[in-house]
Amino acid sequence: MNKSELIDAIAAKSELSKAASGQALDAVIQTIVQAVAKGDSVSLVGFGTFKSTARAARDGKNPRTGEKLKIPATVIPKFTPGATFKATVAAKGKKKK
């Protein structure tokens, strides 16, 4: 599902227009990104948690040349799915077999 399909699904379930659904989705995404960028975590019970995590500096290797290189420390976004989300996905996975 891409963004426009997600907007269509939101519009159908919420009885909002596609334009209003798109604006709401953009606002939610922007709010989550800004909060995580500030170092806050965003928890949506049953869905999951968005947070920032520090990644330590490490040694790497250029796969083409084999040359060793230093990969600097950085901060990355991380999503941890909630119990309800994981259970729903696991249940759907069992039915497909």
- Give pLDDT tens digits for 8-28: 999 999 999 999 999 999 999
Average pLDDT, the chain: 94
* CATH number for the domain harbouring residue 82: 4.10.520.10
**Whether 91 and 60 share a structural domain:** yes
Number of domains in the chain: 2
* Cβ 46 vs Cβ 85: under 8 Å: yes
Q: Are 87 and 47 in contact (CB under 8 A)?
A: no
Structure tokens, 92: 């759907």
Beta bridge partners of 10: none
A 10 A CB-CB count for 21 gives 20
Q: Are residues 55 and 93 in the same domain?
A: yes
Task: Report residue 96's pLDDT band, with 50, 70 and 90 as the boundaries.
Answer: low
Within 10 Å of residue 10's Cβ, how many Cβ atoms? 17
Domain range holding 15?
A: 1-40
Q: Is the model's pLDDT at 97 over the cut of 70?
A: no
Task: Tell me the pairing of strands 68-71 and 74-81.
Answer: unpaired
Mean pLDDT of 44-59: 96
pLDDT over 90 (residue 95): no
Comparing C-alpha atoms, which of 27, 21, 77 is closest to residue 49? 77
Q: Are residues 18 and 64 in the same domain?
A: no
**Helix and strand counts by DSSP (H, E) for the chain:** 3, 5
Identify the band that residue 93 occupies on the pLDDT scale cut at 50, 70 and 90: confident
pTM of the predicted structure, to 2 decimals: 0.80
